[in-house]
A and B are shown apart, each in its own frame.
Chain A
Amino acid sequence: MSFDNPYEALTEDNDARWAFGTGFEDPLAGVDRTVPDGVDPAGLAAYCLMLGDDALILSHRLQEWCTHAPELEDEVAIANIGLDLLGQARLLLARAGAAEGRDGGEDHYAFFRDEPEFRNVRLAELERGDFAELVARLLVFSAWRLALLTRLAGSRDPVLAAVADKGVKEVTYHRGYAAEWAIRLGDGTDHSHERMAAGLATVWPYVGELFATHPVERALAEAGVGVDPAGLRGEFDDVLAQVLRAATLDVPDLGPAAGVSGRTGRDGVHTEAMGHLLAELQSVARAHPGATW
C-alpha cells in the first residue's frame, strides 16, 4: 500500500468510476418489488407520497442553505442531510409510481403535480428562517421521522421496509446533528439561547400535525404496511424533553397552527410558503419537459 497519496490508502479496490471510496450498496438489492397481496395499491401509493413528499420538500429547504450556512463545515453537513432526504424521497416516489403502474413516477410526482396534490406535513415547507430555526425544525422533524421509520422497518411491504431500514441510519445522524446544535445554542450565550428559543417557537405550532392520523395512514397501519403517527408522540416527547433539558430550553406552550376546516398538509392544504417553493423546485422541469442532463 502506498502512502504517497492519502486517498489511495482509503480505497477498497481500484474502481475507476470513483475518485475514492467504494463499496456502494443498492438499498433495494434483492428486495421483492411486487405489491404484497391484500395491499391496496392506491392506498400504498398515497402513503408513499406522504412520506416521500415530507423528505422531498424538506430536502429542498435544506438545499436552500447552500452558500448561506454560518460555517463551511455546516454547509456541507446540511447539504449531506438534504441529499439523504432526497434519496429517501426518490425511493418513496418511485414506489408510489410502481404501485400506480406509472413509469418515471418520481419525476412526475416531484415536478408535475400541483400544490394540492402534495401531501407533506407543513413543517417541511415553512419559509427558511435563521440557523436556529433550521436546527429546531431538523430536530423536530428527525425525532418524529426516526420514530416513524424505526416502526416502518417492520412493514409488510418489503420495499417500504428496506427504505425505512436505510433511512433509520441516516435520520439517526440528522437527529444527532440537530440535537447537538440545539444544545450548543440553547446552553450557549444569552443571545444564542434567545435565538434558539425563537426558532423552536416558530416551528412548534406545526408539531401537532405530525401526529394527526390521516385516513390513508390509518388504513395502511391497520394493514400492517404503514405506521399510525399518533403512536409516535410518546417517543417524540421523551426525546425532545431530553434534548431541551440539556439545552436549558422549555417546551414551547403554543397551540397548533390552524388548517383550513381542520385540513392540513396531509390533505393537500399548505401554507403560503409552499407555492413559492414549488415554483422554484419545478420551474426547470416544466420549462423543458422530458429534458435529461
Chain B
Amino acid sequence: MSGSEWPLYEVFVRGKRGLNHVHVGSLHAADGEMALRNARDLYTRRNEGVSIWVVKAADITASSPDEKDPFFAPSGDKVYRHPTFYDIPDDVPHM
C-alpha cells in the first residue's frame, strides 16, 4: 500500500455531549484537509462526533516510557495535593 508514503495523522473527535476532543485513532493522508475528510469517513460513521481535530503525529512531542518513573512516580504519594482537606461552608455553591 502506497499509504505508507503519506504522513500519519492523529485524530481527535469531540462527541455531542463531550466537552473535550478525545483521541480516537490515526490515519494516513497527504495533508491536513485530506486527513480531516478521512477522519470524518473513518471515525464518525456511527454518529459519534460534532468536531474533529487532526494533527501530524510527527508534530506531537510525547513523554518517553523510559522516563515514566521520574515523570510520574513523584506525585504518587502526595495525597495532600487533592483539595479534600477543607471544610466547605454550606453556602459555597458548585463544590
Contacts and interface: CB of A to CB of B under 8 A. Distances in A.
A73 B24 contact: no
Interface string B76-92: 00000000000000000
Contacts of A22: 47
A75 to B, nearest CB: 9
The 5 closest A-B pairs by CB, nearest first: A21-B46, A10-B15, A73-B38, A77-B41, A21-B47
Interface in B30-71: 30, 33-34, 37-38, 40-42, 44-49
B3 interface: yes
Contacts of B94: none
A70 B2 contact: yes
Given A19-B46, A70-B2, A71-B28, A10 B18 contact: yes
Query: Could you say which of B2, B22, B40 has the most chain A C-beta atoms within 10 Å of its C-beta?
Result: B22
Given A10-B13, A10-B15, A21-B48, A72 B1 contact: yes
A173 B6 CA distance: 23
Interface of A: 1, 3, 6-7, 9-12, 18-24, 70-74, 76-77, 80, 173, 176-177, 180, 184
Interface SS of B by simple majority:
mixed
Nearest to B14: A10
Contacts, number: 70
B47 A80 contact: no
Contact of A10 (B22, B34, B42): B22
A3 B33 contact: no
A71 B34 CA distance: 12
A130 to B, nearest CB: 15
A73 B29 contact: yes
Contact of A23 (B16, B20, B22, B41): B16
A10 B29 CA distance: 24
A71 B13 CA distance: 22
B47 A1 contact: no
Contacts of A71: 1-3, 6, 28
A23 B23 CA distance: 21
Nearest to A73: B38
Given A6-B23, A21-B47, A73-B41, A11 B3 contact: no
Contacts of B17: 12
Contacts of B6: 71
Nearest to B43: A10
A180 B49 contact: no
Contact of A20 (B20, B27, B46): B46
9 contacts: A10-B13, A20-B46, A21-B45, A70-B2, A71-B1, A71-B2, A73-B29, A76-B42, A180-B37
